[in-house]
Structure 1
């Protein structure tokens, strides 16, 4: 366990572990909604529209050279209507390989959500991107089918790279060029308008890997200038710890133009005060760090910061994020015009009941179904 001087544990080591290959093969649940069939790992206990100008309308020559496969994940992102929510602004996480996932189309119908963040794309052990270390970027696979269904019902997706566990592309790819090509393969395959880099554990613990990730994201931005990009990482009670501070410094030095730097304010390893109070204080610290490193006024720094909470009982015994806490965080996000306001995860956004495992498929608190998703959907900046 890696800790900062603020005493927090590394993010989501329990709550976001991907399902192992054996589980993925041995237990497959099929969720059907509007023709959607989603293969998910069952029975495992985890240890854990886009902006105008998006270049996601097909596989470019560069994308083809990186090995992108033809996309059948729907028509791809379209130009947003006037007043539409920018992709990634409020998209909650749903993990289709874990936690008895709900049909994304059902989630949209029940909550009014128009965007979801799907995780996680990791490595196959080399520099090839796959879902949860096992499922290939198959244009006829369950993930592509889910994305197509979301788009057919008027929504869109942002794909998240990394997460807490598994082999990370930032570690297994030997160079920034190779890493950028792996990122772009996913962007081209699913015609994405936004991506999230969930940087945890070994992707932030090593300075060489941090620099490789920063350089690769910069190359991806040069190749896909309309792509919205978010970096998501743990924060302590006072803001980013030493490794995350260094990541931001390297990004600023490289003039990395992310849409948002997003802090995960939970799993602190000890805190004082309510979770709304301590979470917003952590993002205050993130905004101050961005202001110092990028030379921005504080108001501008907040507009490049984001908050990604965890609903219900977190991985720490003294942490529970209630619907009221999350609503208070929504007010904070609105006040500061954050670049992103979201949470982990839709899978957990329901009361616990028969067949639902506390921690992965429910949040462990008394709540209405989708209470947190509805609150996130209410963030429109």
Structure 2
């Protein structure tokens, strides 16, 4: 999934730096502010909606959560600043390290309102520039330590890995990532740290492509336990006109069978649906009007997802959930369809819960 265009993001970061912000637009701490003590979250429910938000695209994560009604957010993205590095930064920006000073106060505010955040690694920009950490860093232990630092710094209970484009085809990086996840899970078990792992992967209307299946085969090989696989049911780029809800349904059904063949060979199909995550792109996706997920489709999609007991639903991206640019495809800050502000977020919020 794509972040804010680099030129726009750099301009936003520079403007906020001049205004006294020390890292990214969503960082509430100034140079004079004390380092916040990050509070622990309440457990994530069995089923939840966690829209992605580009951390360079909003002025405040907590304000965006409050205004939209999104209880849970997936924060995009963590990556290295350059190929060869083993250090993580938000959006690859060295001024935004993994630190309580970066987003700590924002995360506290979200948790005080009963929500939580899920850090996501990778994304389109990292996955095409060799700055996804498992592509960038060749030391499995250092990768695992970088993941561990994210957990101990922000007290998060779930990590998401958005692996696509070049990264999903990088077999060495895929193996390193899964080995590092397995090492991380050993550390979490030893230290009684609650942790779940999800992968976010590109999809066809029939399920994962060959590289996605190979990634799950690698996870099985290295005994990395994957709690959920989130399929991106958009950007098919096949030149066809799609019903984005119907295709999400067939993609999810295909994924269930692919998980049985790879990471969960002995799990009954009914329970495999609990490992399914589905990510839409609200409005017109990057391909164009042939791939449009409308606001009217959101409620039926959520109802279907509840009926199948999937683990999570999400969308790209929170900052796009408005009708400010009707007819525009793939915009970073609006959906391209006529809609009320936060229409998708509020429809998806009905998915949150402990229901069985």
Q: TM-score range by the shorter chain?
A: 0.7 to 0.9
Alignment counterpart, residue 117 of structure 1, candidates 70, 74, 92 = 74
Instruction: Show structure 2 runs of 5+ residues with no match.
Output: 27-33
Q: Is contact 1:260–1:305 with CA below 8 Å preserved after alignment?
A: yes
Distance 1:277 1:30 in 2: 47
Give 1:344 deviation, angstroms: 0.9
- 1:336 equivalenced with 2:324 (yes/no): no
The answer to whether the aligner puts 1:370 opposite 2:355 as a matched pair is no
Query: Counterparts in 2 of 1:7-26, with a 5 A limit?
Result: 12=1, 15-16=2-3, 19=6, 22-23=10-11, 25-26=13-14
CA contact (8 A) 2:79 2:91 kept: yes
Q: Distance in 1 between matches of 2:68 and 2:333?
A: 18
Residues 120-173 of structure 1 deviation map (CA, whole Å, 9 limit, x = unaligned):
1111220001000112223223x2232122223332111111111131101111
> Distance in 1 between the 2:65 and 2:229 partners?
26
For residues 155 and 303 of structure 1, the distance between their equivalents in structure 2, rounded to whole angstroms, comes to 21
TM-score (norm. length: structure 2): 0.83
Aligned counterpart for 1:40 among listed residues 17, 22, 25? 25
Preserved CA contact (<8 Å) 2:178 2:218 = yes
Equivalent position of 1:105 in the other structure: 62
Check the 8 A contact 2:281/2:317 in 1, yes or no.
yes
- Counterpart mapping for 1:169-180 below 5 A: 169-180=133-144
Take 1:342 and 1:22, find their aligned partners in 2: how far apart are those partners? 27
Q: CA deviation at 1:362?
A: 0.8
The number of residues matched between the two structures is 327
Secondary structure of 1:224's match?
helix
Deviations 1:276-298 (A, max 9, x none): 11122111111110122221222
Task: Say which SS state the counterpart of residue 306 (structure 1) adopts.
Answer: strand
Query: Could you tell me which residue of structure 2 aligns to residue 299 of structure 1?
Result: 270
Specify which of 108, 115, 119 is matched with residue 155 of structure 1. Answer: 115
| Partner Cα separation in structure 2 for residue 218 and residue 175 of structure 1 | 14
Change in Cα spacing, 1:175 to 1:38, as seen in structure 2 (3 Å) is: closer
Judge conservation of contact 1:37–1:146 (CA < 8 Å) in 2. Answer: no
Q: How many Å separate the matches in 2 of 1:221 and 1:74?
A: 22
1:144 lines up with 2:116 in the alignment: no
Q: Residues 1-381 of structure 1 correspond to what in structure 2 (within 5 A)?
A: 12=1, 15-16=2-3, 19=6, 22-23=10-11, 25-28=13-16, 39-40=24-25, 72=36, 74-78=38-42, 80=43, 85-86=45-46, 89-98=48-57, 101=58, 103-125=60-82, 126-134=85-93, 135-141=96-102, 143-166=103-126, 167-225=131-189, 226-270=194-238, 271-293=240-262, 294-295=264-265, 296-317=267-288, 318-352=290-324, 359-379=331-351, 380=353, 381=355
Residues 302 and 334 of structure 1: is their aligned pair in 2 closer, same or farther, counting only changes over 3 Å? same
Asked if structure 1 preserves the Cα contact closer than 8 Å seen for 2:13 and 2:24, the reply is no
Shift of 1:110: 3.8
Shift of 1:324: 2.4
Length-normalised TM-score, structure 1: 0.78
Name the CA shift for 1:16/1:110 in 2 (closer, same or farther; >3 Å): closer
- Could you say if the C-alpha distance between residues 183 and 71 of structure 1 is closer, same or farther in structure 2, counting changes exceeding 3 Å? farther
Higher relative contact order by CA 8 Å / sep ≥ 6: 1 or 2?
1
Give structure 1 stretches of 5+ with no counterpart.
1-11, 42-69
Partner of 2:29 in structure 1? none
CA offsets 1:289-310 (integer angstroms, 9 cap, x no match): 0122221222122111110111
- SS of 1:235's partner is strand
Contact 2:213/2:258 (<8 A) preserved = yes
Shift in Å, 1:18: 6.0
- Change beyond 3 A, Cα 1:25–1:91: closer
Q: How far did 1:358 drift?
A: 6.8
> Contact 1:121–1:162 (CA<8 Å) still a contact in 2?
yes
What is the CA–CA distance in structure 1 between the aligned matches of 2:22 and 2:332, rounded to whole Å? Answer: 21
Structure showing the higher helix proportion among its residues: 2
Q: Distance in 2 between matches of 1:250 and 1:138?
A: 31
Instruction: Tell me the secondary structure at the aligned position of residue 164 of structure 1.
Output: helix
Contact 2:324/2:336, CA 8 A, preserved across alignment: yes
